């Protein structure tokens, strides 16, 4: 229907409603107006009023009628809107024009149709949504079940792996330990090869177990880092020292450069930092056939609160192709094509995650055939900057030193140290030149010579000339050799070098070695590292216990064994050994339990023995628990001689009985002798510390407290050992021994022995004050 039809319909259908009042008005008014003669008898106004009343009545009637129709129309429309299709507008009954009724009915029909269409659509949508919702609910329930199952499986896997690792490590400890001991016995070449293969395979297996365990911990989010204060250079040098023999075996050179702006002491997780460096360095050694590996440690950014260090390991190996590079940090995807080198592909993935845990990253740059540089950037908290360190490196300042090393990187690394220590260094590239210059030198010649040699160059007659010239001109020569073979080292000292050290020696030990050489101290102390140190070894596994005891014995210690914690506490009460190495997990009374009992018994006596835990597997939280129980450190099994010595280092200085008094160069007794190179600050400390210690000893002696006297004497013994004060050390030890010899009460001549300690102390103090 068109708009035109609609409007015309409306005009034609409704006029009478409007015309009704007008007609009434006309009937009433027009005769009165135009035919006055007809109504002479009536006044005109009466007619007029009648007309008005009639027309008003007409209007009212018309309005009511109109309102009634409109109401009906509204009702019908409302019902139609409420979707009652039987309600349609009846034109005649409602007095609505036909055309309008048609239009309205059509509109109602359309509305109805679109309503039912949209109702159908909504019903369909609703059904769809309901289906989706129920699918979703089912999926969620399935996921929840899967998650619970996966969690249970992961927990089971973790537990299994931890237990397995513990079970595997214990026999591995024995295999590795006994192969190490076997290697020290006389073997023919074939036997030596078998043993070496045996221990290498066991080491690979162990490293695989460790990697898997670490990855498991990282994935489970259970790897938390420790915050321990440690000396950064020691931490890195330990790794390079440990791995350098592998590099030397392949004829590779290793140089370590720690820049001077790197803090001396930092706080962080030294074990995990070592793990990062170990992974990178062992890979560099594994994938490099010739050339050198340079490890650089530098400060990247940050100063006070935190600093980011960059530890880069650059090798001259085969490099990594672009294709390999893409999958480099994915686990179980070793890109090695060589099947000689066992690889799980876990190392780099773990290293990367460790760097990220230390708020840093792992970077790699590589060129095929040229080499690879991995850089670990990690955040640590600086604790002591080099400049503000108590120990100053003044003992060698101004000393003239000639250095000869044909390899530019190792020369650079050495020069880096020598310049820092203030030596006046002259460089030589060829041994022939050095030998000639030595023979021609006068009083302006060097006071020390360093010769950096590779084992292949050893047969070179020019080096023999250098050693000969050194001997002839009485210039002590320190040889640094890239070999860990003691026979090679002996051959060099036999040829004339004052001492021969591995090239991987750390800065601190090299400094001490140069000082000792300058002072004419013999190279070999002639004493084993743990000479006469009493150690109680506690382990319920006989093989592990025997291995540890044998290892300690071979290092000069005097060992005693206990099979569990209960026996350990009993033996400790009887003999009071200064050091205990104790397994953590044991039946009856475990390690932490025994440590608690020992610490409780010690309390108030002032004495404190060292308790080192041994464990095949320990989570960081468990480690904290063990330390809280009273243990001082925990050694992870299996460990070798080097790791054992490193852990025992702090106790060895304190506990070791007196060395025989050192002999002076001319063979006469040296009554009081300070260690060479004692920095003035350390001497100051000694001046403060020693009078307090002796005062305490004398006071305790006056009170007659037996155990406390022993512990005070032990403390003085430790101080004297640290500063190499032979006489004081011997007298303090005498007091300790005489107290140990008499079971109860005080020995007769204790007063005299203590007076001797006092005299020895006074002599040291006088010497220190320069009186
Ligand atoms: P794994 O733990 O088995 O040694 P990594 O994750 O440490 O494995 O290394 C993965 C792979 O990355 C190695 O198989 C090797 O192909 C490559 N790669 C790692 N470091 C070097 C490197 N310095 N030079 C060349 N290739 C390397």
Q: What's the 329 CA to ligand 1 centre distance in angstroms?
A: 9
What atom in ligand 1 is closest to the CA of residue 335? 16
Q: Is residue 62 part of a domain?
A: yes
Give the model's pLDDT for residue 63.
Answer: 84
pLDDT band at 348 (very low <50, low <70, confident <90, very high): very high
Do 502 and 543 sit in the same domain of this protein? no
Residue 499 lies in a domain: yes
Same domain, 609 and 691: no
State the Cα–Cα distance between residues 255 and 276, nearest whole angstrom.
17
- 232: which DSSP letter? H
Say how many Å lie between the CA of residue 334 and the centre of ligand 1: 6
State the distance from the centre of ligand 1 to the C-alpha of 348, rounded, in angstroms. 7
Instruction: Clarify whether residues 263 and 359 are in a common domain.
Output: yes
Distance from C-alpha of 266 to C-alpha of 234, rounded to nearest angstrom = 11
pLDDT at residue 526 tops 70: no
Could you say which of 492, 518, 544 is where a domain stops? Answer: 518
pLDDT in tens, 527-575: 577 878 899 999 887 777 877 888 888 888 889 999 899 999 999 998 8
Q: Tell me: do 751 and 706 sit in the same domain.
A: yes
- Identify the residue whose C-alpha is closest to ligand 1 atom 3: 343
3-state secondary structure 320-371: CCHHHHHCCCCCCCCCCCCCCCCCCCHHHHHHHHHHHHCCCEEEEEEECCCE
CA dihedral 32, 34, 39, 45 (to 10 degrees): 30
Q: How far is the CA of 182 from the centre of ligand 1 (A)?
A: 32
Contact 400, 426 (CB under 8 A): yes
> Is the separation of the CB atoms in 69 and 96 below 8 Å?
yes
599 C-alpha to ligand 1 centroid (Å): 47
pLDDT at position 21 is: 62
Q: How far is CA 439 from CA 401, 404, 575, in A?
A: 15, 15, 59
**Total count of residues recorded for the chain:** 771
Pocket of ligand 1 from Cβ distances under 6 Å: 279, 283-284, 287, 315, 317-318, 320, 328, 334-336, 343-349, 372
Q: 649 and 618 in contact (C-beta within 8 Å)?
A: no
Q: Is the pLDDT confidence value at 19 over 90?
A: no
Of all protein residues, whose CA lies closest to atom 17 belonging to ligand 1?
335
Q: What is the pLDDT of residue 10?
A: 42
Distance 352 CA to ligand 1 centre (A): 12
Rounded Cα gap, residues 317 and 296, in angstroms: 17
Distance from C-alpha of 200 to C-alpha of 206, rounded to nearest angstrom:
10
Question: Is 369 found in the same domain as 252?
Answer: yes
**Winning range, highest mean pLDDT, from 134-148, 642-656, 753-767:** 134-148
Domains in the chain, number? 6
- Same-domain check for residues 248 and 370: yes
Interval between CA 278 and ligand 1 midpoint (Å) = 12
Predicted confidence (pLDDT) per residue in 56-104, tens digit: 887 888 788 888 878 887 887 777 777 665 667 777 777 777 888 888 8
The token pair at 196 is 């070496």
Question: 286: CA distance to ligand 1 center in Å?
Answer: 8
Number of the ligand 1 atom closest to the C-alpha atom of 315 = 23
The whole-chain average pLDDT of the chain stands at 80
Summarize the confidence of residues 584-609 as an average pLDDT. Answer: 87
Of all protein residues, the one whose alpha carbon is nearest to atom 20 of ligand 1 is: 283
683 pLDDT band, cuts 50/70/90, is: low
Residues 461 and 554 in one domain: no
Question: What is the reported pTM?
Answer: 0.57
Mutate to test the pocket of ligand 1, among 209, 278, 280, 283 (most ligand atoms within 8 A of CB): 283
Confidence of residue 314 (pLDDT cuts 50, 70, 90): very high
* Tokens read off for 108: 């109602």
Nearest alpha carbon to residue 312 among 296, 332, 334: 296
Alpha-carbon separation of residue 158 from 162, 213, 224, 302, 619 (angstroms): 6, 9, 16, 38, 12
Pocket test for ligand 1, best of 205, 322, 326, 348 (most atoms within 8 A of CB): 348
* Residue 658 placed within a domain: no
CA nearest ligand 1 atom 4, residue: 343
Region of poorest pLDDT, from 183-192, 234-243, 648-657, 670-679: 670-679
pLDDT on residue 735: 86
Ligand 1 nearest-atom number relative to CA 318: 25
Give the lowest-confidence range in 494-498, 549-553, 641-645. Answer: 641-645
CATH number, residue 478: 3.40.50.2300
Percent of the chain with pLDDT over 70: 83
Residue nearest to atom 2 of ligand 1 (CA): 347
Same domain, 446 and 472: yes
Query: Is residue 399 a contact partner of residue 423, using CB atoms and an 8 Å limit?
Result: yes
Alpha carbon 458 to chain centroid, angstroms: 41
598 touches 553 (CB < 8 A): no
Residues 21 and 67 in one domain: yes
Query: What pLDDT, in 10s, does the model give residues 699-734?
Result: 888 888 887 888 788 778 766 765 667 778 788 878
Residues 507 and 565 in one domain: no
On whether both 289 and 414 belong to a single domain, the answer is no
CA of 320 to the centre of ligand 1 (A): 9
For residue 342, give the ligand 1 atom closest to its CA. 3
Instruction: Give the range of the structural domain holding residue 155, as residue numbers without chain letter.
Output: 98-189
Q: Ligand 1: distance of its center to the CA of 231 in Å? A: 29
CA distance 262 to 254: 20
Residue 89: predicted pLDDT: 76
Measure the CA–CA gap between 759 and 771, rounded to whole angstroms.
15
Has residue 125 been placed in a domain?
Answer: yes
For residues 491-502, average pLDDT: 85
CATH number, domain with residue 696: 1.20.120
492 pLDDT exceeds 50? yes
Q: Whose CA is nearest to atom 25 of ligand 1?
A: 319
Within 10 A of 396 (CB to CB), how many other CB atoms are there?
20
Say if 117 falls within a structural domain: yes
**Does residue 178 fall inside a structural domain?**
yes
What six digits make up the tokens of 718? 């430790």
Say if 746 falls within a structural domain: yes
Mode of pairing for the β-strands spanning 424-428 and 477-481:
unpaired
Q: What residue's CA is closest to ligand 1, atom 7?
A: 347
Q: Pick the residue with more confidence: 40 or 743? A: 743
* CA of 371, closest atom in ligand 1: 24
Atom of ligand 1 nearest to the CA of 336: 16
Question: Which atom of ligand 1 approaches the CA of 343 most closely?
Answer: 3
Structure confidence by residue, pLDDT tens digits, 350-359 = 999 999 999 9
Residue 768 has pLDDT above 80, yes or no: no
Cβ-contact 308, 300 below 8 angstroms:
yes
Name the domain boundary from 518, 553, 572. Answer: 518
**Which of 319, 336, 341, 364 most suits a substitution to test ligand 1, by most atoms within 8 Å of the C-beta?**
336
3-state secondary structure 134-196: HHHHHHHHHHHHHHHHHHHHHHHHHHHHHHHHHHHHHHHHHHHHHHHHHHCCCCCHHHHHHHH
Co-location of 495 and 553 in the same domain: no
Phi, psi of 539 (to 5 degrees): -160, 135
Flag whether pLDDT at 409 surpasses 70: yes
What spacing in Å lies between the alpha carbon of 283 and ligand 1's midpoint?
6
Residues facing residue 654 across a β-bridge:
none
Question: Which tens digits make up the pLDDT trace of 126-170?
Answer: 999 999 999 999 999 999 999 999 888 877 877 787 777 777 877
Whether the pLDDT of residue 226 is over 60: the answer is yes
Task: Give the pLDDT band of residue 16 (cuts 50, 70, 90).
Answer: low
In a domain, 762, yes or no: yes
Q: Whose CA is nearest to atom 18 of ligand 1?
A: 283
Give the distance (Å) from ligand 1 centre to CA of residue 225: 25
């Amino acid at each position: 229907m068109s708009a035109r039809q609609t409007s015309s319909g409306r005009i034609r259908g409704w006029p009478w409603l409007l015309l009704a009042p007008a007609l009434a008005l006309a009937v009433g008014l027009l005769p009165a107006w135009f035919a006055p003669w007809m109504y002479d008898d009536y006044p005109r106004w009466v007619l007029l009023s009648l007309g008005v009343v009639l027309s008003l009545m007409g209007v009212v009637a018309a309005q009511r009628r109109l309102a009634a129709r409109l109401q009906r129309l509204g009702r019908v429309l409302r019902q139609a809107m409420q979707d009652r299709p039987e309600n349609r507008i009846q034109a005649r009954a409602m007095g609505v024009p036909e055309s309008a009724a048609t239009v309205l009915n059509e509109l109602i029909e359309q509305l109805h149709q679109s309503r039912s269409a949209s109702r159908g659509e909504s019903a369909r949508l609703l059904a769809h949504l309901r289906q989706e919702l129920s699918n979703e609910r089912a999926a969620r329930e399935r996921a929840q079940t899967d998650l619970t199952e996966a969690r249970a499986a992961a927990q089971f896997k973790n537990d299994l792996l931890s237990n397995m690792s513990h079970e595997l490590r214990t026999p591995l400890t024995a295999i590795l330990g006994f192969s190490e001991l076997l290697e020290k016995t006389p073997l023919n070449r074939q036997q030596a090869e078998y043993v070496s293969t045996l221990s290498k395979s066991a080491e690979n297996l162990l490293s695989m177990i460790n990697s898997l365990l670490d990855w498991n911990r990282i994935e489970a989010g259970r790897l938390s880092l420790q915050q321990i204060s440690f000396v950064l250079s020691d931490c890195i040098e330990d790794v390079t020292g440990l791995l350098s023999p592998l590099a030397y075996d392949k004829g590779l050179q290793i140089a370590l450069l720690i820049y001077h702006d790197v803090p001396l002491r930092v706080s962080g997780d030294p074990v995990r930092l070592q793990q990062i460096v170990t992974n990178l360095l062992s890979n560099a050694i594994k994938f490099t056939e010739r050339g050198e590996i340079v490890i650089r440690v530098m400060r990247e950014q940050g100063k006070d609160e935190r600093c980011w260090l960059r530890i880069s390991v650059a090798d001259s190996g085969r490099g990594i192709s672009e294709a390999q590079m893409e999958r480099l940090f994915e686990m179980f995807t070793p890109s090695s094509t060589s099947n000689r080198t066992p690889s799980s592909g876990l190392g780099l993935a773990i290293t990367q995650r460790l760097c990220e845990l230390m708020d840093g990253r792992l970077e790699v740059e590589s060129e095929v055939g040229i080499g690879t540089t991995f850089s670990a950037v990690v955040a640590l908290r600086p604790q002591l900057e080099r400049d503000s360190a108590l120990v100053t490196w003044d003992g060698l300042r101004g000393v003239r030193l000639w250095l000869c090393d044909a390899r530019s990187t190792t020369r650079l690394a050495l020069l880096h140290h020598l310049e820092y220590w203030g030596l006046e260094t002259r460089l030589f590239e060829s041994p022939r030149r050095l030998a000639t210059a030595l023979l021609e030198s006068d009083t302006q010649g060097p006071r020390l010579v360093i010769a950096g040699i590779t084992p292949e160059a050893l047969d070179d007659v020019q080096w023999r000339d250098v050693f000969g010239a050194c001997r002839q001109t009485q210039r002590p020569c320190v040889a640094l050799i890239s070999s860990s073979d003691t026979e090679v080292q002996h051959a060099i000292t036999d040829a004339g070098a004052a001492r021969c050290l591995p090239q991987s020696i750390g800065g601190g030990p090299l400094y001490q070695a140069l000082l000792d050489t300058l002072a004419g101290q013999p190279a070999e102390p002639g004493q084993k590292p743990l000479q006469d140190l009493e150690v109680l070894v506690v382990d319920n596994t006989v093989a592990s216990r025997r291995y540890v005891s044998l290892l300690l014995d071979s290092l000069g210690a005097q060992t005693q064994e206990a099979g569990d914690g209960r026996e350990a506490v009993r033996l400790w009460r009887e003999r009071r050994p200064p050091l205990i190495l104790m397994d953590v997990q044991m039946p009856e009374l475990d390690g932490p339990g025994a440590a608690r009992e020992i610490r409780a018994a010690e309390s108030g006596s002032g004495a404190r023995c060292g308790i080192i835990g041994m464990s095949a597997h320990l989570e960081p939280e468990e480690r904290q628990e063990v330390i809280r129980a009273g243990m001082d450190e925990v050694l992870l099994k299996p460990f070798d001689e080097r790791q054992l010595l490193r852990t025992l280092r702090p106790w060895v200085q304190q506990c070791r009985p007196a060395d025989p008094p050192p002999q002076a160069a001319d063979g006469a007794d040296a009554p009081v002798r300070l260690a060479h190179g004692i920095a003035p600050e350390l001497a100051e400390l000694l001046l403060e510390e020693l009078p307090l210690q002796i005062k305490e000893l004398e006071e305790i002696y006056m009170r007659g407290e037996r155990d406390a006297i022993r512990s005070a004497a032990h403390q003085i013994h430790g101080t004297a050992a640290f500063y190499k004060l032979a006489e004081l050390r011997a007298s303090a030890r005498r007091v300790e021994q005489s107290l140990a010899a008499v079971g109860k009460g005080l020995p007769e001549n204790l007063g005299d022995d203590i007076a001797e300690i006092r005299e020895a102390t006074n002599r040291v103090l006088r010497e220190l004050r320069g009186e």
